[in-house]
C-alpha cells in the first residue's frame, strides 16, 4: 500500500497535533501577556521552548534570588519543542558517531550527562499534578531493509568496546516481534534509555513551573534587536529588557547568526499523528511503550500515545538556503509528509486502514558534527544553544544546565562537557552548502528508497551519497 500513495492524506500544517491538544487543555485560562515598557532583570532569556524554559528553571534552582525575564515570540512550546516526536533519550545511541567525532572518553561523558538529564526529566514529568504522558520502556532501532542490517552491529560493537554493553542489546527478528510485529522488521537493537512524552504538554508544564518559580514570562513578545553591552539591551516591539546576562534559546533562528552560521545548517522533519487504534496496536503486539526507529539515515521515528495513536515521523525534510527559517517548505512540504505516511503504511501495515488525524513539519538545526553546542559569544555576556540536530528533548535539559553554568560562570560537570568546550567543525560555505546538501539529500533518499524495495541503489545516486564520507564529513554520512 505504501507505494500506491501519491499524495499524503493530510497536508502538513501548523499547529502540531500536540500543540493543538495542549492548548485545548488550557481553554478558558487568561490570555498570555506581552511585554510592555522597560524592565530590568539579572538574566533575559529569549525563546520559550524546552531550552529557554529548562535554563530558567536551572537558574532559579541554583540561585533563587536571580531575577529572570523570559520572552517568547509566539506561545511557549509552539516551536520545535511542541512539534517533536517527543521520543526522549540521551546519547547512548550516538556512541559510535560521537566516539569518532569527539573521542571515546568525551562520548561517554556526554552519554552520562544524558542519563542525568533523563532522570531529571522523569522526575519533572512524573511529579504529582503533571499530566504530560510520560512513558518509559526503552527504544528499539530496527533494520527494515537488508542494507540496514549491518548498522545493528555498529551499535552493539561500540557499546561492548566502550564497556557499556547493556546500553545496546542486539535483538533477533523474533525478539523484535515480541515488542511489535511487522513484516518489515528484520532484526534490531534494544536501547535501554528511552521514554515518550506529550511534546507540547511538557513544554507548557515547564512554562507553568517557570512562572511558579518566579520567572517573569512574556509570550507574543519577539526580540526585535539585541544591543550587546554592560548591561545588554533586549529590544521588543513594545518594550525592552535591560539585563547583565542574555541567553539566546531561539533554536533554528540562530542559524543565521554570524558566529553560528559556519557550523549549522537548517533541514526539516515531518510527522503525522493517526487516529486512535488501540485494538490494532494490540493485534500487532505493540503493547509496551517502546519507541521505534528504522536505520535509515533519513530516519523514520515512531511511537505510540497513551490513547492508542501512532506518531510517525520522517527526518527527511528539505534543506533551507543560508539558514532561512521562514521558507514554507520547512513546514509545508507535502513530499516529506508523504514519506512519513508511506513509512507508516510500510513499517506498520497493521495500521493500514487507520486514518491520519494531523500532519506537520518543523525546522531542525543540524550542526557539522550532529551535536549541540552551548557557548558564550566572545567578549560578551550573551550565551546561546544551537545544533540539536533533530535530537533535543533530552539534550535541551543538558542545554539548560550548561547555559545556567555559563551564566553563573560555574566550572562544573556541565560547563566542562565537550558540548560547551569543543571547537565545532565548519560546514561548506553557501551556496555549496545548500546545493551540495540538496543533491546529497536527494541521492541518499533515492538509495534508501531503492534499498527498501530490495533493488540496487542507482549508480549515480550512490556516488553522490558517498561524497560526505569521502570528505570525512559527519553530516550526510550514511
Ligand X SMILES: Cc1cc2nc3c(=O)[nH]c(=O)nc-3n(C[C@H](O)[C@H](O)[C@H](O)COP(=O)(O)OP(=O)(O)OC[C@H]3O[C@@H](n4cnc5c(N)ncnc54)[C@H](O)[C@@H]3O)c2cc1C
Q: Which residues bind ligand X (CB under 6 A)?
A: 46-52, 71-74, 78-81, 83-87, 222-223, 249-251, 253, 269, 271, 301, 313, 362, 364, 385, 388, 390-394, 396
Cβ distance to ligand X smaller for residue 326 or 470? 326
Cβ distance to ligand X smaller for residue 400 or 436? 400
Cβ distance to ligand X smaller for residue 228 or 469? 228
Cβ at position 351, least distance to ligand X in Å: 19
**Non-local CB neighbours of 27 within 8 Å, separated by 6+ positions:** none
Q: Which residue has the cell 504522558?
A: 133
Cβ at position 50, least distance to ligand X in Å: 4
Cβ distance to ligand X smaller for residue 271 or 445? 271
Cβ distance to ligand X smaller for residue 185 or 302? 302
Cβ at position 179, least distance to ligand X in Å: 18
Closest-CB residue for ligand X? Answer: 392
Cβ at position 144, least distance to ligand X in Å: 18
Cβ distance to ligand X smaller for residue 268 or 477? 268
Three-class SS string for the chain?
A: CHHHCCCCCCCCCCCCHHHHHHHHHCCCCCCCCCCCEEEEEEEEEECCCHHHHHHHHHHHHHCCCCCEEEECCCCCCCCHHHCCCCEECCCHHHHHHHHHHHCHHHHHHHHHHHHHHHHHHHHHHCCCCCCCCCEECCEEEEECCHHHHHHHHHHHHHHHHCCCHHHEEEECHHHHHHHCCCCCCCEEEEECCCEECCHHHHHHHHHHHHHHCCCEEECCCCCCEEECCCCEEEEECCEEEEEEEEEECCHHHHCCCCCCHHHEEEEEEEEEEECCCHHHHHHCCCCCCCEEECCCCCCEEEEECCCCCEEEEEEEECCCHHHCCCCCHHHHCHHHHHHHHHHHHHHCHHHCCCCEEEEEEEEEEEECCCCCEEEECCCCCEEEEECECCCCCCHHHHHHHHHHHHHCCCCCCCCCCHHHHCCCCCCCCCCHHHHHHHHHHHHHHHHHHHHHCCCCCCHHHHHHHCHHHHCCCCCCCC
Cβ at position 365, least distance to ligand X in Å: 7
Cβ at position 72, least distance to ligand X in Å: 5
Cβ at position 473, least distance to ligand X in Å: 21
- Whether 264 contacts 323, CB under 8 Å: yes
Cβ distance to ligand X smaller for residue 14 or 451? 14
Nine cell digits for residue 182: 511487522
Cβ distance to ligand X smaller for residue 236 or 465? 236
Cβ distance to ligand X smaller for residue 46 or 427? 46
Cβ distance to ligand X smaller for residue 67 or 220? 220
Cβ at position 81, least distance to ligand X in Å: 3
Cβ at position 395, least distance to ligand X in Å: 7
Cβ at position 197, least distance to ligand X in Å: 9
Amino acid at each position: 500500500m505504501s507505494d500506491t500513495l501519491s499524495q499524503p492524506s493530510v497536508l502538513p500544517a501548523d499547529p502540531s497535533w500536540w500543540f493543538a491538544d495542549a492548548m485545548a487543555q488550557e481553554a478558558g485560562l487568561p490570555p498570555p501577556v506581552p511585554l510592555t515598557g522597560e524592565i530590568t532583570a539579572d538574566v533575559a532569556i529569549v525563546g520559550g521552548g524546552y531550552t529557554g524554559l529548562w535554563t530558567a528553571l536551572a537558574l532559579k534552582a541554583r540561585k533563587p534570588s536571580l531575577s529572570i525575564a523570559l520572552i517568547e515570540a509566539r506561545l511557549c512550546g509552539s516551536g520545535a519543542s511542541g512539534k517533536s516526536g517527543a521520543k526522549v533519550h540521551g546519547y547512548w545511541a550516538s556512541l559510535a558517531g560521537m566516539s569518532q567525532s569527539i573521542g571515546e572518553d568525551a562520548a561517554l561523558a556526554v552519554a552520562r550527562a544524558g542519563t542525568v538529564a533523563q532522570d531529571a526529566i522523569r522526575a519533572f514529568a512524573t511529579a504529582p499534578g503533571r499530566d504530560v504522558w510520560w512513558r518509559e520502556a526503552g527504544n528499539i532501532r530496527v533494520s527494515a531493509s537488508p542494507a540496514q542490517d549491518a548498522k545493528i552491529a555498529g551499535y552493539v560493537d561500540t557499546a561492548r568496546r566502550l564497556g557499556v554493553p547493556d546500553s545496546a542489546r542486539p535483538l533477533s527478528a523474533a525478539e523484535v516481534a515480541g515488542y511489535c510485529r511487522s513484516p518489515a522488521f528484520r532484526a534490531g537493537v534494544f536501547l535501554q534509555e528511552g521514554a515518550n512524552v506529550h511534546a507540547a504538554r511538557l513544554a507548557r508544564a515547564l512554562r507553568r513551573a517557570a512562572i511558579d518559580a518566579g520567572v517573569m514570562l512574556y509570550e507574543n513578545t519577539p526580540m526585535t534587536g539585541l544591543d550587546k553591552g554592560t548591561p545588554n539591551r533586549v529590544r521588543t516591539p513594545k518594550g525592552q529588557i535591560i539585563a547583565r546576562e542574555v541567553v539566546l534559546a531561539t533554536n533554528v533562528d540562530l542559524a543565521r547568526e554570524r558566529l553560528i552560521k559556519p557550523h549549522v545548517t537548517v533541514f526539516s522533519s515531518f510527522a503525522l499523528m493517526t487516529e486512535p487504534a488501540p485494538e490494532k496496536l494490540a493485534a500487532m503486539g505493540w503493547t509496551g511503550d517502546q519507541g521505534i526507529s528504522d536505520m535509515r539515515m533519513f530516519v523514520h521515528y515512531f511511537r505510540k500515545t497513551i490513547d492508542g495513536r501512532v506518531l510517525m515521523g520522517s527526518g527527511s525534510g528539505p534543506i533551507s538556503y543560508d539558514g532561512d527559517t521562514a521558507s514554507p517548505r520547512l513546514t509545508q512540504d507535502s513530499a516529506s509528509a508523504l514519506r512519513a505516511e508511506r513509512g507508516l503504511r510500510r513499517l506498520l501495515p497493521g495500521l493500514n486502514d487507520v486514518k491520519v488525524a494531523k500532519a506537520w513539519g518543523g525546522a531542525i538545526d543540524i550542526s557539522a558534527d550532529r551535536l549541540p553546542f552551548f557557548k558564550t559569544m566572545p567578549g560578551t555576556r550573551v550565551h546561546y544553544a544551537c545544533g540539536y540536530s533533530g535530537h533535543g528533548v533530552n539534550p535541551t535539559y543538558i542545554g539548560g544546565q550548561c547555559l545556567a553554568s555559563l551564566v553563573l560562570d560555574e566550572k562544573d560537570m556541565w560547563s566542562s562537557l565537550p558540548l560547551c568546550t569543543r571547537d565545532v567543525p565548519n560546514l561548506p560555505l553557501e551556496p555549496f552548502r545548500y546545493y551540495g546538501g540538496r543533491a546529497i539529500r536527494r541521492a541518499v533518499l533515492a538509495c534508501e528508497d531503492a534499498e527498501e524495495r530490495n533493488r540496487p541503489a542507482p549508480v549515480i545516486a550512490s556516488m553522490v551519497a558517498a561524497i560526505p564520507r569521502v570528505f570525512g564529513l559527519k553530516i550526510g554520512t550514511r
